[in-house]
Structure 1
């Protein structure tokens, strides 16, 4: 019995060994199946990775194209904003710089052009000295007249004693030694110009470090500010403008736009200082420049806790004492 069982066990072990050693269903087949499965997994993963890479490349190309289109759109919006500002300035009637230069040139030519003497010029002593003396007829010898013509001297006339007594009062000034009183005045003016220029540079440097500034003024003053500064490359129109009472507006400008306001208003005030025909433009430019300069002067390099925003206010009003009076 035991022998028969032992043989049976040996037979089963032999069958197991045969099955294990079989190339199609044994360990070799299992290894082959595993290798095939591994190869299929690698192919699937590789195909999926290749597809993801292609999708990523396509997304990257689309993103770059989108950024390029966005930059083009931003450039177009900026150009449209400039065109709108120019159209707005033409609608409200901005003074033409070429016309102003032509008016200044014509005014300078008119001032330098010689004009005929007037009665007031004769009385005040302006113009040629020869015409300030009234001619009195008298006998003149031919020899003396020819001598005067050769020497190029003016005709000598005889005047009464009364006229002789009055004329020294008129002609006494040129006889005195010439003293130029404008020399110290010109030196003081040059020093003042240097100080103003240094103060202007300091204001520009302070404005360059400002993040934003609040502007409070009338809407007409705001229109003037836009008309003058819209052409400056550093000026940017604010995104929002709030309406206040009494026709006032409130908005915020970046530090870059404040720089444009300072530089432009300084130039306008200098250009229109000598043109009497447009004193209003000069006065408005000076007011905006001075208030902007005053606002940036109070800034500090550090931002303390509770610090207020830089504010440019153009709203002068009478004090309570003046109102009561």
Structure 2
């Protein structure tokens, strides 16, 4: 857990990931519906905004999959928001919020580390928050 904590606390990684997220069009998130609900319930660090800038996605961007899994298409600005909220909650949330926030933050960061600043026609790999031996792709 020390490595994960160090990565969450690393402002260089956070800044790099947020800048990369701001430059992508979309990324697919694959997670259980309960995980998505927990992410949406995380308190925002940006409480000065009218809607508290919670994590959201419109229904047409959410597709139900087998076993309660969801596929959610997220835009770059939505991913920036997810990184901000999960970074905040990984340090300031309850133990449950910290666990969900850290796993999500690292999951997005791992995918964003594969994104370059050059134009590419390659699809960005999905963020998969499912640690079963054979996670759906």
TM range (shorter): 0.7 to 0.9
**Within-5 A mapping of 1:176-255:** 196-228=10-42, 231-232=52-53, 235-240=55-60, 241-255=62-76
Which structure is richer in relative contact order (CA contacts within 8 A, separation 6 or more)? 2
1:308 equivalent to 2:123? Answer: yes
Give the drift of 1:223. 0.5
1:318 to partner: Cα distance: 2.7
Deviation at 1:304, TM superposition (A): 2.9
**Counterpart in the other structure of 2:3:** none
The alignment yields a C-alpha RMSD, in angstroms, of: 2.2
Conserved in 1, the CA contact under 8 Å of 2:57 and 2:72? no
Deviation at 1:250, TM superposition (A): 0.6
- Does the C-alpha gap of structure 1 residues 210 and 253 become closer, same or farther in structure 2, counting only changes over 3 Å? same
In structure 2, what is the Cα distance between the partners aligned to 1:207 and 1:245?
28
Larger Rg: 1
Give how far 1:251 is off.
1.4
Alignment of 1:66-145 (within 5 A): none
Deviation of 1:236 (Å):
4.8
TM-score by length of 1: 0.34
Q: Secondary structure at the match of 2:80?
A: helix
Specify which of 279, 304, 308 is matched with residue 95 of structure 2.
Answer: 279
Distance of 1:291 and 1:200 partners within structure 2: 13
Q: When the two structures are aligned, how many residues end up with a matched partner?
A: 120
Indicate conservation of the 8 Å contact 1:214/1:252, yes or no.
yes
Which structure has the highest strand share of the two? 2
Partner residue of 1:297? 113
Q: Is the 8 A contact 1:212 1:252 kept in 2?
A: yes
Stretches of structure 1 that go unaligned for 5 or more consecutive residues are 1-191, 273-277, 320-325
User: TM-score under structure 2 normalisation?
Assistant: 0.77
1:259–1:245 Cα change, 3 Å: same
* Contact 2:40/2:56, CA 8 A, preserved across alignment: no
For structure 2, the 5+ residue unaligned runs are 1-5, 45-50
**Deviation (angstroms), 1:294:** 1.0
Aligned to 2:87: 266
Displacement of 1:310: 4.2
Residue 281 (structure 1) shift: 1.5
Following superposition, the deviation at residue 301 of structure 1 comes to 1.8
